[in-house]
Structure 1
Amino acid sequence: MRSLFWRVLASFWLAIALVAGLSILLGHMLNQDAWILSRHPGINTLAQTWTERYERNGAEDAQEYLEQRKRRYHIDVQVLDESGEAVVPGTFPRRAAAFEERRRHDERPLPWRRLTVEHTSPESGETYLLIYRIPHPQLDAWHRDSLLWPLSALGIALVVLTLFSLLVTLSITRPLSRLRGAVHDLGQTTYQQNSLAQLANRRDEFGVLANDFNRMGARLQSLIGSQRQLLRDVSHELRSPLARLRIALALAERAEPEQREKLWPRLTRECDRLEALISEILALARLDAEHASAEPIDLQALLTNVQKDAQLSAPEQEIRIDAEPELSLQGWPTMLERALDNLLRNALRFNPQGQPIELNGRKSGDRIVLSVRDHGPGVASEHLAQLGEPFFRAPNQTAPGHGLGLAIARRAAERHGGSLTLANHPEGGFVACLELPLEPNGASVGV
């Protein structure tokens, strides 16, 4: 992965390296004596060369070398030994020395710059003091030429650093601009999943973020679509009982008193159906609005309560509980009880008499599996994937209901961080399994 972290780090390191190098360079420039001694072509190697020629060829050759440098660079040189005596005559005349002494005594500026350097011969070990005097006009001309390189280096460094910083800045701001546009589109519900396709192909943090954003956008679009579909389904489901109520009321208004008495049970039945439908819709909505803290749930007691409630409505059916002892988890007991109650009542609608409904609970790794099995006809395989969608009922289903029981159970499982699995049992009948983690992840799932 070409990490954005390394790009930013490299840019900072490059900036630090350039600043450090230029600081060293400028420091040498500010220390004029050291800068001149190390950079001026007339004196940067003079001490070493003069010492070698003096010790190998004698004083005459060494003096000739100083005079050559004088003619070429206009620099006067004196060479003294450790006692302060002149080793060779040098190129600085006596009258110039007297002139320099008077100027220094009067504290007046000299027409040359005086530099001194000690040099120890690596062969003889003798130490020599070399005194250079460079005329100011010649030194100023050299300064103008010598500053060209550091200023050019400074300019090149600034250009390189600016271009590199610009590239790093663009590599950050452009993806952020695209993400900002995607967030705006998402807020306006006009988000397109391919809007960040190019950004998602990047192999850095922005690519990872774009992929996560795409998944989030797809999930939100799916939730928005589900909400719209739910509103359409709710409108459709409410329209039917309301239409029947309106027809019944219209008939009751025109009917004779005796016929009107016969219509009252029908009106009552339609009102009960409408109330039950609204109750189930509200129960489905409350699952998403649940914000209470999770608490320990004794599953054995919960299964027993669900069994007792179901037996009251269908005493002719046998419900068997087969659960491991001391089975418990963290969650929302009311939500989970409603989910199991819906699964059990769904099984009661289709289970034939004489066959028991099996209510099981077991621990599987770090999850708990609660299952409800009936011995009914099951569901056609092509409709299994749609089970659990709000208001969906399998074709040719004659049992009463609105298609919300399995949706409530699935939403409760997802609220706990688990899942609901619906399938036909291999030995016949239908089985619904709630797989729940021991600790809920707190994820809230929209419709």
Structure 2
Amino acid sequence: MILQSKIVGLKSRLLFVKVFLWFWVTAVVLFAIFLGSRMIGTRVVPATAVSAAFAPAMANEAAQAYESGGPQAFAQFERTLKGTTRRVFYLIDGSGNDVLSRPIPTDSLPIVKSSRSDGRIVTRYGLHSQSAAYRFTSSSGHPYVVLLHQPIELLSFLQTTGSEILFVGAGLLIVTLLSLWLAHHIAGPIHGIQSAARSVAKGDLNVRAPVEISKRHDELAALALDFDSMVERIGLLVHSQKNLLNTVSHELRSPLARLNMSLALLRRESSRESEELIERMEHDVERIDGSC
């Protein structure tokens, strides 16, 4: 019995863990999808952004360097702009080719093709790189697309996304706390009803489900009310059974008493041949009287 109780208690704790994990995993997955959609993908930079203000001037300088000095002048301009970073600066002509004849990164081709003609910057954030494209027309009337491509390193990613990581940590903490609360909100009432059921199994018919469960407005509250009704009904049945037994016992005692007196009188007047029969009758009467 003790082992069975321990097994039931372990299963109830497993229910809490299962509910917690289901809520937690679901919330984390949804949170990851939301965060991924915010951090990874293609988007248009608002015109009010700082990069949108500097892009036209930088693009015109790049086009002017190329048109005035050729590929060598643009290469020098790119080295100056690049500095010690791993950024790669592309100037793509109207034919879709880099002026330095370099292959355009495959992951940046979509934003090069979808770059806007209204002067808005299109950016793309991926798992391995980030890039930005800006379409413009130089002062000489030639169309170009400026592409800035930068591979992502883990250290630089952590440095540039520190606020996002802090946001993720806070989100995970909130999700964990909410999952714990929801798991307790669901599994807690079940534990209360389970404890009451154990008391009923031990013979305590005055126990009821915890009052706070009945105040809920869900299926668990209905379960608690049904449990209380069941225990009350069992108590009434047991009480009725006891009353019936007491009534039957009381009703049988008077006839049995008269029967005992009759047997005693009969024994005085009986012969030896009927003595054994009278003893059997007295024995049966005693058994019935003892059961009452």
Gaps of 5+ in 2: 1-20, 66-73, 120-134, 138-142, 272-280
- Return the structure number with greater strand share: 1
**Following the alignment from structure 2 to structure 1, what is the Cα–Cα distance between the partners of residues 136 and 80?**
26
Counterpart of 2:94 (choices 82, 86, 95) is 82
* Pairwise CA distance, 1:151: 3.2
After superposition, what is the alpha-carbon deviation per residue over 1:3-61, rounded to whole angstroms, capped at 9, x for unaligned? xxxxx9988864552242245467x3xx8xx79x98xxxxx975774337767xx948x
Q: How does 1:221-370 map to 2 (within 5 A)?
A: 221-255=235-269
Taking the TM superposition and a 5 Å limit, the aligned residue runs for 1:52-131 are 59=64, 75=87, 77-83=89-95, 84=97, 118=112, 119-122=115-118, 126=137, 127-131=143-147
Q: 1:21 aligns with which of 34, 37, 40?
A: 34
- Note if 1:51 corresponds to 2:51: no
* Structure ranking higher in helix proportion: 2
How many residue pairs align between the two structures?
213
Find out whether 1:208 has 2:222 as its counterpart: yes
Q: What SS does the aligned partner of 1:203 have? A: coil
Change (3 A) 1:79 1:201: same
Equivalent position SS for 1:128: strand
Distance 1:12 1:224, change over 3 A: farther
Which structure is larger by alpha-carbon Rg, 1 or 2?
Answer: 1
Contact 1:66 1:77 in 2 (8 A): yes
Deviation at 1:246, TM superposition (A): 0.2
SS in 1 for 2:263: helix
Secondary structure of the residue aligned to 1:182 is: helix
TM-score by length of 1: 0.38
Question: Which amino acid counterpart does residue 121 of structure 1 have in structure 2?
Answer: S
Question: Residue by residue, what CA displacement relative to the aligned partner does 1:72-114 show, whole Å, maximum 9, x if unpaired?
Answer: 978563434214585xxxxxxxxxx7xx98xx9xxxxxxxxx9
Indicate the structure whose relative CO is greater, using CA pairs within 8 Å and at least 6 residues apart: 2
* TM-score normalised by length of structure 2: 0.54
Does the C-alpha gap of structure 1 residues 133 and 240 become closer, same or farther in structure 2, counting only changes over 3 Å?
Answer: closer
Match of 1:291 in 2: none
Cα deviations across residues 354-392 of structure 1 (Å, max 9, x unaligned)? xxxxxxxxxxxxxxxxxxxxxxxxxxxxxxxxxxxxxxx
Distance 1:69 1:243 in 2: 120
Q: Give the letter aligned to residue 210 of structure 2.
A: L
| Change beyond 3 A, Cα 1:154–1:236 | same
Structure 1: gaps (5+ residues)? 1-7, 39-43, 87-96, 105-113, 258-266, 275-447
Q: Is the 8 A contact 1:80 1:129 kept in 2?
A: yes
| Aligned match for 1:196, one of 177, 202, 210 | 210
Q: RMSD of aligned C-alpha atoms?
A: 4.8
Report the Cα offset of residue 225 of structure 1.
0.9
Partner secondary structure for residue 121 of structure 1: coil
Provide the identity percentage. 22
